[in-house]
Amino acid sequence: MNYSINQNNICVVIPIFNEIEFLDELLQRVSLFSSNIICVDDGSTDGSKELLEPNDKVTLISNGKNRGKGYALKVGLLKSLEFNCDFVVAIDADLQHLPEQIPEFVAALKDYDLVIGNRLHSLKGMPLQRIISNKITSWLLSKKVGIKILDSQSGFRAFRKEIIKSILPFETGFEAETEMLINATLNKNSIGYVKIPIIYNNNKSKMHAFQAIFGFLRVLLKSTKNNSEL
């Protein structure tokens, strides 16, 4: 693998659903670190897709309707393989992650197959319900997979291209990110972490608590059943 950290060797995948407020700034900042940017519009109705269509620096994929973050992420990751970049970074579109940390994530891929942004090293600024949700889901997932997962819900992640096909999810919602971690542990892929800050922009979360918890538990139970059949 070529470990050179340059714009041509990094592909960035951005799932998008009604993020027009942040797109211009996000793309400007991401483009400093990657010349291969894939935006997957998941049925936006706020003009996000129309804003991206004339941008020749972005590969735009439109799902046509809202299919879920997991579906958008899977589509984007599969498309990234066509760019033949050694490193693929997934980042959320709402500027709750710092694109300036992309090189840090890629550098960590020298030692790991998958790198996750960890927000739970410091909880200052995180709403109580998010702390409880993140702590519980990370703990439950850690118990099931047998290794400590520090932040199961983080959407800021980096992958070596070689593992992408083997960890892609079947789930289509937010629970797909948990499924990918389970797949990675089943494949014995190594997982590392980069500390990232907690940033909230007062934008309304796309995640519905009950639906997300139900999806998480479904994936967890399914993985337990699959493990027992191995």
Q: What is the pLDDT of residues 127-150, one digit of tens each?
A: 777 777 778 888 888 998 999 999
Residue 54 domain-assigned (yes or no): yes
Residue 2 domain-assigned (yes or no): no
Indicate which CATH number applies to the domain containing 191.
Answer: 3.90.550.10
Total count of domains within the chain: 1
Q: In what order do the strands lie in the sheet with 10-16?
A: 58-62, 36-41, 10-16, 87-90, 157-160, 114-118, 191-195
Residue 1 domain-assigned (yes or no): no
Residue 196 domain-assigned (yes or no): yes
Q: Which domain holds residue 207?
A: 7-228
Residues 6+ positions from 55 with CB-CB distance below 8 Å = 27
Residue 194 domain-assigned (yes or no): yes
Residue 171 domain-assigned (yes or no): yes
66-116 pLDDT per residue, tens: 999 999 999 999 999 999 999 999 999 999 999 999 999 999 999 999 999
Residue 221 domain-assigned (yes or no): yes
The band of 228, judged by pLDDT with boundaries at 50, 70 and 90, is very low
Residue 51 domain-assigned (yes or no): yes
